[in-house]
């Protein structure tokens, strides 16, 4: 009889060794070493090849390929060279000003995230434009196969071939490794949220209310008379509020406080349920290889905020996931039958004395 190999769970009590690091091949990352800029480089729509005159259709599939190949490192180094005196694309390292560390899509537009490491202060000032250098069907040198549209470099030029592109936009980023997904965009000063100190200062200027003093007094003695006065003034305007059935100012403040606590508790419960629902949706994308696990938290936040365009920008298409998974074997859909085989009984049978069984130990040896 032919030997049959069964893989079964390790018996209780046996140890295992956890990998201390991830293989280099699975840990491609980018480190921001200069100043980070976002630059609009491409639009969906027809594009005439500058040399051959061929009409190229830049559609969603084309941009999907650019983003997918960049993430996979098909064009390993996507540099940012300065065009020469004839406004020609060059790839000599001596002309390089930085590196593209990420690609973003938004509303049919492709943006390159450029780490400017040389002359960073000139980007957006004297370095005004950019021109993407693309291959419509790049050869993956690691496999020899064609990989489709691939971004090879983004040249800095003040006379780009593709026009009507948005200007360089500064982007805030930490000095830590940049993984191409988590970005913090600089918000215009006038849209920044106010701090607690600013709000307190506005209240003091408005009617002289000293919030810190009132909070401190209430916390020390439980006296809420001044808080009641402030509340009744806000409600009645003239400081007089008609309270019926023996209700006092303390009752009013207590009721408002209890209502606020109840409202906060409900809001936390709703937020928790919404986050759980968003997590389920994101985990579905991860389970089919359309989203990388490291992007899980970012994707949940984008789902909660309703940023569907942002989420779609780094979610792989259904027909071309980042990780290609084998089709799962087993039951699918709704069924009342449950497992068609008793797993525990089958395991016991396979590891019984009638079958030769071996267990692997930590050092790689086997024992019966």
User: Looking at the structure, do residues 108 and 50 belong to the same domain, yes or no?
Assistant: yes
Q: Among 160-174, 211-225, 261-275, 281-295, where is mean pLDDT lowest? A: 211-225
CB 191 within 8 A of CB 113: no
Longest dimension (CA), the chain: 98
- Burial (CB < 10 A; 0-12, 13-18, 19+), residue 111, is buried
Would you state the pLDDT for residue 271?
81
Would you state the pLDDT for residue 247?
57
- pTM for the model stands at 0.42
User: Looking at the structure, do residues 58 and 178 belong to the same domain, yes or no?
Assistant: yes
User: Looking at the structure, do residues 244 and 294 belong to the same domain, yes or no?
Assistant: yes
30 band by pLDDT with thresholds 50, 70 and 90: low
User: Looking at the structure, do residues 99 and 175 belong to the same domain, yes or no?
Assistant: yes
User: Looking at the structure, do residues 50 and 168 belong to the same domain, yes or no?
Assistant: yes
User: Looking at the structure, do residues 109 and 242 belong to the same domain, yes or no?
Assistant: no
User: Looking at the structure, do residues 35 and 121 belong to the same domain, yes or no?
Assistant: yes
pLDDT at residue 38 is higher than 90: yes
Among 139, 169, 190, give the residue marking a domain's end. Answer: 190
User: Looking at the structure, do residues 126 and 255 belong to the same domain, yes or no?
Assistant: no
Would you state the pLDDT for residue 325?
61
Is 340 domain-assigned? no
CB 30 within 8 A of CB 72: no
Per-residue DSSP letter, 123? B
User: Looking at the structure, do residues 39 and 152 belong to the same domain, yes or no?
Assistant: yes
Is 351 domain-assigned? no
Is 347 domain-assigned? no
Is 357 domain-assigned? no
Query: Please, what is the average pLDDT of the chain?
Result: 74
Who's near 31: CB < 8 A, 6+ residues apart? 176, 177, 178
Q: Which percentage of the chain shows pLDDT scores above 90? A: 29
User: Looking at the structure, do residues 141 and 249 belong to the same domain, yes or no?
Assistant: no
pLDDT at residue 84 is higher than 90: yes
CB 12 within 8 A of CB 143: no
Q: Give the domain extent around 245.
A: 224-313
Residue 10 or 156, more confident: 156
Q: Among 105-114, 152-161, 172-181, where is mean pLDDT lowest? A: 172-181
CA–CA separation, 338 vs 148, rounded Å? 44
User: Looking at the structure, do residues 272 and 159 belong to the same domain, yes or no?
Assistant: no
Residue 269 or 160, more confident: 160
User: Looking at the structure, do residues 241 and 152 belong to the same domain, yes or no?
Assistant: no
Is 123 domain-assigned? yes
User: What confidence tens digit (pLDDT) does each residue in 194-222 have?
Assistant: 566 766 676 677 666 666 666 665 555 44
Could you tell me the CATH number of the domain that includes residue 186?
3.20.16
Is 303 domain-assigned? yes
Q: How many domains does the chain have?
A: 2
Among 172, 190, 208, give the residue marking a domain's end. Answer: 190
């Amino acid at each position: 009889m032919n030997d049959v190999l069964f893989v079964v769970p390790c018996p209780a009590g046996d140890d295992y060794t956890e990998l201390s690091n991830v293989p280099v091949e699975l840990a491609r990352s980018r480190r921001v070493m200069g100043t980070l800029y976002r630059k609009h480089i491409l639009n969906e729509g027809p594009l005439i090849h500058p040399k051959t005159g061929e009409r190229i259709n830049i559609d969603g599939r084309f941009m999907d390929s650019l983003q997918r190949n960049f993430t996979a490192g098909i064009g390993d180094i996507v540099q940012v060279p300065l065009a020469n005196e004839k406004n020609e694309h060059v790839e000599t390292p001596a002309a390089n000003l930085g590196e593209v560390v990420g690609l973003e899509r938004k509303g049919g537009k492709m943006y390159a995230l450029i780490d400017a490491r040389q002359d960073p202060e000139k980007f957006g000032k004297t370095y005004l434009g950019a021109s993407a250098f693309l291959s419509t069907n790049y050869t993956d040198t690691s496999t020899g196969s064609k990989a489709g549209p691939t971004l090879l470099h983004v040249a800095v030029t003040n006379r780009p071939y593709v026009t009507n592109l948005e200007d360089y936009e500064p982007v805030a980023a930490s000095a830590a490794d940049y993984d191409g997904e988590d970005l913090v965009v600089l918000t215009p000063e006038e849209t920044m949220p106010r701090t607690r100190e600013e709000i307190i200062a506005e209240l003091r200027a408005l009617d002289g209310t000293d919030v810190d003093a009132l909070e401190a007094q209430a916390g020390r003695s439980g006296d809420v008379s001044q808080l009641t006065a402030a509340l009744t003034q806000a409600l009645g305007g003239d400081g007089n509020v008609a309270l019926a059935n023996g209700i006092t100012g303390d009752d009013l403040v207590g009721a408002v406080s209890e209502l606020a606590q109840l409202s906060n508790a409900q809001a936390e419960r709703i937020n928790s349920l919404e986050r759980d629902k968003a997590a389920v949706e994101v985990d579905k994308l991860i389970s089919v290889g359309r989203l990388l696990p490291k992007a899980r938290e970012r994707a949940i936040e984008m789902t909660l905020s309703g940023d569907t365009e942002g989420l779609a920008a780094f979610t792989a298409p259904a027909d071309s996931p980042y990780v290609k998974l084998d089709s799962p074997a087993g039951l699918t859909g709704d069924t009342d039958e449950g497992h068609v085989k008793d797993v525990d009984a089958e395991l016991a049978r396979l590891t019984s004395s009638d079958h030769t069984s071996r267990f692997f130990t930590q050092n790689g040896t086997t024992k019966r």
